[in-house]
């Protein structure tokens, strides 16, 4: 049995049109996606802002009703068996507002333990274990309001483990965290899968995170999965071509729409802009010529090892950060 099976799942949101026009328009946030996550797998949904990642996670955790398609979690039907599914999964949602800031860490976990009917005899032991695991035991009696962003996220993860879920969903688990906290969270998630045998489905728009953590990655864009493979498999999509980074000055991004090559802006300051894409050896002089002809000042041209971002640029003609 698979941990997660998604079959042509869709979601449309009504778009509110101001009165007096009562017409309802629909935004198709998820446009029929299908994928499977094996048990014990660390699976990532990678995509830019608005790709449909949170919408997908909300549907798979029974918080949002799909507009179409179907899904099974641990062999259970997403709609029919929602109650049973909720007992066996958990979610670390996007943002900070999933904890009670006026309660201490300990009180938060006690509250959520009760919601999940964790037996009284086990509750104290489990809370202690979890708080120690995320390194918050010493701070257990402090109000969450006094916690740093990184501490809040560690507590949110402990909270999501309170019912010992078989499948854990994480929506952008390191968004807005400092480097050290992000490292902690990544390492922790890896250990959950490797040592505890949990299944994890996470979303991210950090390529490095997806590449480092995930066994397999689905790249999602505009509500569709445009590629799905292991990080190595995905990178093979650009291996033949050569990845190149071109630093330029006096660059107008509108020019890219006319470019015969799939290039994306990966860095932009007042001083200079860095373009990136896959360009054949023979094509490179032509590209530089084309830029010069369009009044762009080329500062440097550098060969790079392909990353997942290059896969995304090649598939969509855009950068993940656009
Ligand atoms: N409640 C809502 N009502 C209407 N439209 C929505 C709603 N929630 C999301 N959308 C739209 O659905 C699309 C997908 O949004 P979603 O939040 O799933 O993307 P995401 O991949 O999680 O993006 P991000 O990286 O910014 O978190 C977007 O176009 C968004 O504007
Ligand atoms: Mg999101």
Both 208 and 249 in a single domain?
no
Query: Model confidence over 222-276: pLDDT tens digits?
Result: 999 999 999 999 999 887 778 999 999 989 889 988 888 888 998 889 889 999 9
Residue 285 lies in a domain: yes
Both 220 and 268 in a single domain?
no
Q: Which domain holds residue 279?
A: 239-316
Q: What residues sit around ligand 2, an ion, with C-beta below 5 angstroms?
A: 53-54
Q: Is the CB of 16 under 6 A from ligand 1?
A: no
Give the pLDDT mean for 145-173.
96
Does the pLDDT of residue 167 top 60, yes or no?
yes
CATH of the domain at 171: 3.40.50.300
Can you count the helices (H) and strands (E) in the chain?
10, 14
Residue 283 lies in a domain: yes
Both 8 and 115 in a single domain?
yes
Residue 321 lies in a domain: no
Residue among 53, 95, 175, 219 to mutate when testing ligand 1 (max atoms within 8 A of CB): 53
- Give the neighbor-by-neighbor strand order of the sheet with 273-278: 263-268, 273-278, 243-249, 297-304
Residue 76 lies in a domain: yes
Does the pLDDT of residue 22 top 90, yes or no?
no
Domain end among 209, 229, 249: 229
Centroid of ligand 2 to alpha carbon of 26 (angstroms) = 19
Both 187 and 136 in a single domain?
yes
Q: In this predicted structure, what is the pLDDT of residue 17?
A: 73
Both 171 and 42 in a single domain?
yes
Domain end among 205, 229, 253: 229
Residue 322 lies in a domain: no
Query: Model confidence over 178-219: pLDDT tens digits?
Result: 999 999 999 999 999 999 999 999 999 998 899 999 999 999
Q: Is the CB of 316 under 6 A from ligand 1?
A: no
Both 195 and 50 in a single domain?
yes
Both 203 and 289 in a single domain?
no
Site of tokens 């941990």: 3
CATH of the domain at 244: 3.30.70.1150
Domain end among 229, 258, 280: 229
Centroid of ligand 1 to alpha carbon of 50 (angstroms) = 5
Residue 140 lies in a domain: yes
Residue 234 lies in a domain: no
Q: How many residues does the chain have?
A: 322
Does the pLDDT of residue 319 top 90, yes or no?
no
Ligand 1 atom with the shortest distance to the CA of 205 = 25
Both 96 and 162 in a single domain?
yes
Average pLDDT, the chain: 93
Centroid of ligand 1 to alpha carbon of 29 (angstroms) = 6
Q: Which DSSP string corresponds to 235-248?
A: HHHHHSS-EEEEEE
Q: How many CB atoms sit inside 10 A of residue 19's CB?
A: 6
Query: Model confidence over 212-234: pLDDT tens digits?
Result: 999 999 999 999 999 999 999 99
Q: In this predicted structure, what is the pLDDT of residue 321?
A: 64
Q: Is the CB of 54 under 6 A from ligand 1?
A: yes
Ligand 1 atom with the shortest distance to the CA of 30 = 14
Does the pLDDT of residue 320 top 80, yes or no?
no
């Amino acid at each position: 049995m698979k941990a997660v099976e998604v079959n042509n799942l869709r979601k449309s949101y009504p778009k509110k049109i101001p009165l007096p026009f009562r017409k309802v328009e629909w935004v198709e946030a998820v446009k029929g996606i299908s994928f499977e996550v094996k048990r014990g797998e660390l699976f990532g949904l990678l995509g830019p802002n608005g790709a449909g990642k949170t919408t997908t996670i909300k549907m798979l955790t029974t918080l949002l009703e799909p507009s179409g398609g179907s899904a099974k979690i641990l062999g259970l039907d997403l709609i029919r068996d929602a109650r049973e599914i909720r007992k066996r999964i958990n979610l670390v949602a996007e943002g900070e507002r999933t904890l009670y800031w006026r309660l201490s860490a300990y009180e938060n976990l006690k509250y959520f333990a009760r919601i999940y009917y964790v037996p009284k005899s086990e509750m104290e032991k489990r809370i202690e274990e979890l708080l120690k695991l995320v390194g918050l035991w010493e701070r257990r009696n402090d109000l969450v309001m006094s916690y740093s962003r990184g501490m809040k996220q560690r507590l949110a993860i402990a909270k999501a483990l309170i019912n010992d879920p078989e499948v854990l969903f994480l929506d952008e688990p390191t968004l807005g965290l400092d480097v050290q906290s992000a490292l902690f969270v990544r390492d922790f998630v890896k250990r959950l899968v490797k040592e505890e045998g949990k299944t994890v489905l996470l979303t991210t728009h950090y390529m490095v995170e997806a590449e480092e953590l995930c066994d397999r990655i689905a790249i999602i864009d505009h509500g569709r999965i445009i590629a799905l493979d292991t990080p190595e498999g995905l990178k093979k999509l650009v291996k033949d071509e050569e990845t190149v980074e071109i630093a330029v000055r006096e660059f107008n991004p509108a020019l890219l729409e006319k470019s015969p090559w799939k290039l994306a802006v990966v860095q932009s300051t007042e001083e200079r802009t860095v373009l990136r894409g896959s360009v054949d050896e023979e094509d490179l002089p032509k590209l530089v010529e084309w830029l010069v002809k369009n009044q762009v000042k080329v500062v440097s041209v550098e060969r790079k090892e392909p990353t997942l971002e290059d896969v995304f640029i090649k598939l969509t003609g855009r950068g993940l950060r656009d």
